[in-house]
Amino acid sequence: MTSRACPFPRDDIVPFLREGYLFTGKRRREVTHADDDRPLWLRVMGKPALLLRGADGVRLFYDASKVKRSGAMPAPIQGSLFGNGSVHSLDDEAHLHRKKTFVAVCYDDAQVERIKPMIEAEVREAMQRWAKHPESVYDSMVIAYGRASLRWAGIEGRDADLDVQATRLGEIVEGFAHPNLDHAKAWVNRRLTNRWCAQVIGEQRSGKRHAEPGTSLHAWATFRELDGTLLDEKTAGLEMQNTFRPHIAVARFAAFATKALFERPEWRERIQAETAERGTLVDGPLATAFAQEVRRYYPFVPVLPAFARTDFEFEGEKVSEGDRLLIDILNTNTGPSWERADEFDPERFLGVDFEQIVTFIPQGGSDVETTHRCPGEKIAVSSLATTIAALCEPGVEILPDGLDFSWREMPTRPTSGGLVTLHR
């Protein structure tokens, strides 16, 4: 294994950007000639970076006594995707203070249940459009998840106005990773969205809007920092966005689910029968297990960064304060800890509490309430399962064109977004 103290033959940032999701596995095989969970030293932007994966890697990455997040995310990604000053860049008491509000808004069971009928209604409306002409599942779900989550957040408005905001939020995710026109578009949409969300916060504070207590808009409009000061409108708007932007990003998984269902017609039959028996698209056990396997199997977030906050040793590797740490998301989800990791098998998630699986980290790992794990996962899984159930309904045809995707493009999805039509 390459030692931290040894000279690095190259900086790995360029091959990472070029090879995308393939990079971490390929680099590991080049250096170790193996595909295991041992830590691996890289060189990123001229500095040492320890690549972590597997159960022990997850535990280290979320150990706040050894690891911190502040400043770790590259500025172009932090600014365009998450927003500067948001919870993702905070540590310790400041992070926990804001995280409590995210947990109350997104993770509380009552809030999770409140959005489910909204999602089902929007997905069923999308199906009506499928009956008129073929449509991309990705595009459909950006709108469906966007409308539902904005209204769930307490932001009322006409469909057309909410669709504009949902589309902008989808494009923010679309262009965060590469210095190209999509990235420039992501920044434009970030600025427009920031301005709009700050305005919404201001309207709630002034009484022009009347979001109910418990909604995201109400929570962030009234949020106070540790010193008792009201959070400024721009940052409050950023954090409000961070309660629904990740939900809209789940449309990428919906596109992958379309591909997975096309390739596994037997699962379409099983889920269709389940929906007919239950009388609802929401939370079918088979559809939910299928959703979880989509989240495990297909690429979404490639890696997440952090910094070592102190000197320590991990599995024989000496880590110094300030060294960059990277958690390998994809190869933890599909690594040696999983039986038949290369097989797509939703059965593995039937009757399983996904939060208890240490190496299942498509949207972060460890404890939701005390770490940086995404508090919106329960909503994400339910929404994805609802979409999967809809795709299995009688008359829905998944078109074969454009279901391929690039492993080198980040973020990625099927090129067509998953085209579907509905035959009456």
Q: Could you confirm whether domain 13-422 is CATH 3.30.70.420?
A: no
What does the alpha-carbon distance between residue 100 and residue 318 come to, in Å, rounded to a whole number? 34
Q: Which residues make Cβ contacts (< 8 Å) with residue 67, sequence separation at least 6?
A: 60, 61, 306, 307, 308, 309, 325
Q: pLDDT per residue over 81-102, tens digit each?
A: 676 778 888 889 999 999 999 9
What does the alpha-carbon distance between residue 94 and residue 79 come to, in Å, rounded to a whole number? 19
DSSP state of 392: T
Q: Which residues make Cβ contacts (< 8 Å) with residue 21, sequence separation at least 6?
A: 299, 302, 330, 407, 408, 410, 412
Helices (H) and strands (E) in the chain, counts: 17, 10
Min mean pLDDT across 25-34, 53-62, 184-193 is at: 25-34
Q: pLDDT per residue over 169-215, tens digit each?
A: 999 888 766 667 777 888 898 899 999 999 999 999 999 999 999 99
What does the alpha-carbon distance between residue 153 and residue 165 come to, in Å, rounded to a whole number? 13
Q: pLDDT per residue over 315-344, tens digit each?
A: 999 999 999 999 999 999 999 999 999 999
Please tell me the pTM assigned to this model.
0.95
- Residue 176's pLDDT is 67
Instruction: Quote the tokens at residue 135.
Output: 């449509």
First to last CA, the chain: 59
Q: Which residues make Cβ contacts (< 8 Å) with residue 93, sequence separation at least 6?
A: 226
Question: Residue 129: pLDDT above 60?
Answer: yes
Q: Show me where the domains of the chain are located.
A: 13-422
Q: Which residue has the higher pLDDT, 52 or 179?
A: 52
- Residue 6's pLDDT is 44
